[in-house]
Amino acid sequence: MKNPTIVLLLIICGMLFSSAAAGPTGTWSNTVRRGRKQTTTLHFYVHDVRGGPNATLFAVASAPITANSPTRFGQINVFDDLATAQPDINSPEVARVQGTTTSADLRVRAIAMNVNFFITAGEFNGSAVSVIGRNAVTEDERELSVAGGTKAFRNARGYAITKSYSNDPATNYSVIEYTIYVTTRV
């Protein structure tokens, strides 16, 4: 780096970016504006409780082959999962994650997702992001599409990265990490 002005600019940009990352609403949402585009990064942990008294996910339908299918083909679940900023299920709620999953791959475990992330805290309380896509659940990192949004996220585009954070087969409880990049025009 020969030019000291460029070095100084990079340092200032770095300082601006890190102060934006801290954000007024905590670490789970962060908005960066570039020209006429604004990208909000949402990061949270989704609690998939599939059994017990506090279950938030239920099986609603299956196909004649589901029971004998290694990929549970045809299984449809509906859920209203809690999302929190921290992995602990007792940490404050930031969103409800509501929708359906359909086991829709005959060869590997992959689900077709249709999910609304309804934000319930912070500056985006009341806005929603709709996410769809193919989720190959055995892969470490999966990518889904942001299909749109409402209110603060009207006409949104973007993508979501999801990873399994923890899984307890004994209680049928999993924690799933989501990072959603939501781009709107300003």
Ligand X SMILES: *[C@@H]1O[C@H](CO)[C@@H](O)[C@H](O)[C@H]1NC(C)=O
Pull the structure tokens for residue 36. Answer: 């006429």
User: Which 3 state secondary structure label does DSSP give 95?
Assistant: strand
Q: At closest approach, how far in Å is the CB of 125 from ligand X? A: 4
Candidates 4, 24, 35, 53: give the one binding ligand X (CB under 6 A).
53
AA letter at 58:
F
Residues 6+ apart with CB under 8 A from 37: 183, 184, 185, 186
Q: Can you list the positions of beta strands (E) in 104-172?
A: 111-119, 128-135, 141-149, 157-168
Q: Which of residues 54-73 bind ligand X (CB under 6 A)?
A: 54
- DSSP H or E run through 71: none
Under rule CB under 6 A, residue 168 binds ligand X: no
Cβ contact 79:58 at 8 Å: yes
Q: Which of residues 95-124 bind ligand X (CB under 6 A)?
A: 120-121
**Partner residues linked to 112 by β-bridges:** 102, 134
Name the segment binding ligand X (CB under 6 A); options: 28-36, 46-54, 138-146, 149-157. Answer: 46-54
- Which residue, 125 or 145, has its beta carbon nearer to ligand X? 125
Under rule CB under 6 A, residue 171 binds ligand X: yes
- Which residue, 95 or 144, has its beta carbon nearer to ligand X? 95
Under rule CB under 6 A, residue 94 binds ligand X: no
- Which residue, 12 or 67, has its beta carbon nearer to ligand X? 67
Q: Which residues bind ligand X (CB under 6 A)?
A: 51-54, 120-121, 125-126, 171-172
